[in-house]
Each structure stands twice: as C-alpha cells, then as structure tokens.
Amino acid sequence: MGNTFRGKCVADGIRVAVVAASFNELVVNQLVEGAEDALERFSMSECDMDTYWVPGCFEIPQTVSWLLEQGGYDGVLALGCLIRGETDHYDYLATEVTRGLGSLSTVSEIPVCYGILTCDNLEQALHRAGSKSGNKGAESMQALIEMINLTAVIGGEVEDVVEDGEES
C-alpha cells in the first residue's frame, strides 16, 4: 500500500491574492468576507490577502493570469457571482470564465481555486454566500489553503504523509 498525501488546512505565513468581480457586489462582498474569515481561522501567524476587484467575472481569468505572471503569491482565489438571466449571456460567461480559470490552473505552479457562484436567482446566490448553504468564499479559501500546502508536499518543500488513514 502506498502513502497518502494531503495538504494541511494551516495558513501560516502564506500570501494569497483574491480576484473578485464587482458585478453582483452584494453577494461577492459576502464571499470575500468569508474568504478573509477562513484565512484568519486557519492561521496561527501573520498571513497576507490582497484583493483585486474587477468589473465582472469575464475579467477574472485575465487578472489571475497577470498575477500568476507577476508572482509573489502562494495561491490565487477567484470569487464572483453569475446569475442566470433571460438571455444566453449567463451560459457563455459561465463557460468561458470556468474554461479560462481551468486552463490557468493546469499550467500554473501555484494553486488557482474557483469560488464563482453560478445561480439561477439572487436568492440562491445569497444562500451560498453565507446563509443557508454556508459561505462558498470560505470553502474556496479553505480549498486554496489545502492546495497551497499540498503543492509544498509535492514539490518536496515539506514532508506531510498520512499513515493508516490518519490525518497529519
């Protein structure tokens, strides 16, 4: 039986960028607050989170790409909210933003995590941004923290092996 590797949910000393869409800002503000809370909750030391606001979700992948090229971050989190309307615009945006971020995540040496809500209506979005369904901004930040730590394990920077099904 081989080893099991898992990134710890510990944010000590990490530096992250959040790219947030201003469109549907009522919802996205709650996602950003959830991400900030998660970073603080999983940190035992000083962490840095820079937030870059862009006009809408379509601009997120390009901004993430610029930040990856610039360097200086351990991970990047994309936060936004797309709400279905009466036209096909929603479908095109959701597809292209997801494709763009997915492509970036496969070529980047640092983790890129997806925290973009795709909802049928504002009520659904608000539920996912902190009410009935938890806060997807917080959940996405937790995923980013785990991926940052797993990247360090895979890169040989730290040894973090889980033995016999126990978490390390």
Residues with catalytic roles = 89
Per-position DSSP letters for 75-99, written without gaps between them: EEEEEEEEE--SSTHHHHHHHHHHH
Torsion of CA 27, 123, 92, 80, to 10 degrees: 10
Q: Residue 21 is encoded by which pair of tokens?
A: 């869409």
Amino acid at 13: G
* Closest listed residue to residue 50, CA positions, set 107, 58, 66: 66
Distance CA 88, CA 86 (A): 7
